[in-house]
């Protein structure tokens, strides 16, 4: 258990885990953004496309009927727009006569679309529950709606616009349910995320090993240096990075510490010799004092004894006193 805990404390495992967590967070972030933003962006793109088509069709009609440009084949250009963008286009004049239709069923579908907009079937006075008519854009004789037809289970964007020549333009774009698109997109993101995690794991393992090997080497060298073993040196590499610079600095520090410790050891040996010599001299001094003290005890005792004898007049005759005095003098 302790070995497992120590492994999780290593820089290599932390670096590997960090990279994997970053990839997972990025994938989760993309999934969240996908769920929140994709529908809005999808509708924005479709509306922008249909508005661009309206402006182009209006320009074509202006070129033909206002500027008299006979080189433009309006039916061919409308077919190109319809095929390129997957549009259903229908144009009627101000007398409600059909001028162009890219789909023969669109003319009959327009009445049904109007019924959804009104919210009921005008022929039978039947309301369809669940149908939705959402106005996306309504400006300058251009109306763009999102139609949800529950009965046919078809969703589409529907444009109604008045051209400058008073003709009425209808464009319909079928759209797939955005929830299904989001689900497919999320599944793709999860698949890509899983592959990315595997690839990132392999790359992280390689990078973590590459980064941690010199750090482990430096750690081993520092551990041996703490035990005063300076035999190991960092193997310098061609790369000029911080780890390589640190390795060079540790090598220099190791050499200086080894040199300094050798000098200290030599100085210490000399100091030990000096202390030993001093101890010998001190021992000799003590021995000398002891010997001197021992040698002085006997004559001092004799001097003291004969001097006391003279003071006490132990011998009254002059010859004895002279003898005592000679002994003290000797």
SS3 state at 166: coil
Query: Is the model's pLDDT at 251 over the cut of 60?
Result: yes
Residues paired with residue 101 on neighbouring β-strands, in sequence order: 90
State the SS3 of 190-238: HHHHHHHHHHHHHHHHHHHHHHHHHHHHHHHHHHHHHCCCCCCCCCCCC
pLDDT score of 296: 79
For residue 1, pLDDT over 60 is answered with no
Phi then psi dihedrals of residue 196, to 5 deg: -65, -40
pLDDT in tens, 278-311: 888 888 888 888 888 877 777 887 787 777 777 7
Q: Tokens in use for 156? A: 């589409």
Enter the pTM of the model.
Answer: 0.51
Distance, in Å, from the CA atom of 245 to the CA atom of 105, rounded to the nearest integer, reads 77
Task: Classify 289 in phi/psi space as left (phi over 0), alpha (psi -120 to 50) or beta.
Answer: alpha
Q: pLDDT grade, residue 259 (50/70/90)?
A: confident
In tens, the pLDDT along 172-193 reads 888 766 667 777 877 887 888 7
pLDDT in tens, 132-147: 667 888 888 888 888 8
Rg (CA), the chain: 55
Q: For residue 326, give Cα distances in angstroms to 262, 263, 300.
A: 67, 65, 14
Query: Could you tell me how far CA 10 lies from the centroid of its own chain?
Result: 17
Of the candidates 174, 164, 156, 157, which has an alpha carbon nearest to the alpha carbon of residue 91?
Answer: 164
Model pLDDT, residue 37? 79
């Amino acid at each position: 258990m302790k070995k497992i805990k120590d492994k999780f404390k290593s820089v290599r495992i932390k670096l590997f885990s960090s990279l994997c967590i970053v990839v997972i967070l990025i994938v989760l972030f993309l999934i969240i953004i996908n769920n929140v933003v994709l529908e809005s962006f999808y509708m924005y793109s479709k509306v922008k496309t249909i508005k661009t088509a309206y402006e182009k069709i209006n320009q074509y009609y202006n070129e033909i009927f206002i500027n008299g440009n006979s080189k433009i084949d309006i039916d061919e250009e409308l077919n190109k727009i319809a095929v390129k963008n997957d549009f259903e286009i229908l144009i009627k004049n101000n007398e409600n006569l059909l001028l162009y239709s890219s789909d023969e069923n669109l003319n009959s579908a327009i009445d049904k679309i109007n019924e959804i907009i009104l919210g009921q079937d005008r022929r039978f006075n039947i309301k369809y529950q669940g149908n939705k008519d959402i106005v996306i854009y309504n400006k300058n004789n251009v109306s763009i709606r999102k139609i949800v037809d529950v009965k046919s289970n078809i969703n589409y964007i529907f444009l109604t616009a008045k051209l400058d020549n008073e003709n009425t333009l209808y464009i319909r774009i079928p759209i797939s349910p955005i929830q299904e698109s989001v689900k497919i997109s999320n599944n793709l993101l999860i698949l890509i995320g899983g592959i990315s995690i595997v690839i990132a794991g392999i790359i992280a393992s390689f990078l973590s090993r590459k980064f941690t090997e010199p750090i482990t080497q430096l750690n081993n060298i520092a551990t041996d240096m703490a035990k005063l073993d300076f035999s190991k040196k960092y193997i310098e590499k061609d790369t000029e990075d911080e780890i390589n610079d640190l390795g060079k600095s540790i090598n220099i520090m190791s050499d200086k510490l080894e040199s300094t410790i050798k000098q200290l050891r030599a100085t210490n040996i000399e100091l030990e010799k000096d202390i030993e010599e001093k101890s010998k001299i001190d021992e000799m001094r003590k021995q000398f004092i002891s010997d001197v003290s021992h040698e002085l005890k006997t004559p001092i005792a004799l001097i003291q004894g004969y001097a006391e004898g003279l003071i006490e007049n132990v011998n009254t005759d002059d010859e004895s006193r002279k003898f005592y005095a000679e002994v003290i003098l000797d």
